[in-house]
Amino acid sequence: MTLLKKSLYIIAYYIVVATFSCLAFSSLIDSYEQTATLPDGLSPDSLRITIYLEEADKELLTTDQFIEQLMSQGDQPFLLYKDVDMAYGKFFYLQQRDLPVSKVDWMQAYEDQPVAVLDHAMKHNTIEKGEKKYFRYNNQDYEVIDLFTPKNHVMELERSFFISLDPTTNIAGVYNIDGLSPNTVNQALMSLQEEVPALLFDGLSI
């Protein structure tokens, strides 16, 4: 076999390998796009926004007012996370949705009860009262109703505990909202901005 023929066979071989590699990679990308889940069980369509309010105005708007405005835009179910001061926890609020990290049926109970869902590794941070366990954060006790074990995967869980959102806290903070469109969230924030012009927010692409 001449050197030219050998070269042609080698080139053809690498073309075939490259083609199959591209097809395999494309298939993986398609599969990921169909099943992708962001950290903490959020969908690819979830929104991440930051709400700002000057210190002097922080008592004017609460998270409860924000949630009421979101609900007033329609009856869509949604999940809302708000970052806790500490990087390893999140507040949550559920509107006709389940908490992705928990197996608890949230449609049945826990609407007005401060509860917590913890990483198994956080069990040593609980206290017992009677037959129940509680997790204390910021001088508030949250009943522990479920435990989870994070999987060692980049797309799984970023937090070690999830606790009920306190509706009386001020609105300022970083939120993840899953289940609502950018326009719906924008309309809710614009309504609040009419009440308190000092309110600012970013992260929405309308």
Same domain, 25 and 121: no
Do 54 and 22 belong together in one domain?
A: no
Q: How far is CA 166 from CA 19, 46, 64, 184, in A?
A: 54, 21, 8, 22
3-state SS, residue 11? helix
Helix (H, G, I), strand (E, B) or coil at 113: coil
Please tell me whether residues 117 and 29 are part of one structural domain: no
In the chain, DSSP assigns E strands to: 47-52, 78-83, 89-95, 115-119, 126-129, 132-137, 140-148, 161-164, 173-178, 200-202
Dist. CA 45–CA 21, nearest whole Å: 29
* Residue 50 and residue 87 in one domain: yes
Q: Report the alpha-carbon angle 114-120-126, nearest 5.
A: 50
Same domain, 24 and 55: no
| Higher pLDDT, residue 3 or 25 | 3
- Specify whether 112 is located in the same domain as 158: yes
Q: Which domain holds residue 28?
A: 1-35
Average pLDDT rounded to a whole number, residues 64-84: 93
Q: Average per-residue pLDDT in the chain?
A: 79
Decide if pLDDT at 193 tops 60: yes
Residues 103, 126: one domain? Answer: yes
Specify the pLDDT at position 109. 60
* Predicted TM-score of the model (pTM): 0.76
Quick one: 47 and 97 in the same domain?
Answer: yes
Residues 106 and 192 in one domain: yes
Residue 161 bridge partners (DSSP): 89, 118
What single letter denotes the amino acid at residue 72? S
Looking at the fold, whether 45 and 118 belong to one and the same domain comes out as: yes
Q: How many structural domains comprise the chain? A: 2
**Are 154 and 112 contained in the same domain?**
yes
Note whether 153 and 32 are within 8 A (CB): no
Q: Is the dihedral of CA 63, 101, 103, 49 positive or negative?
A: positive
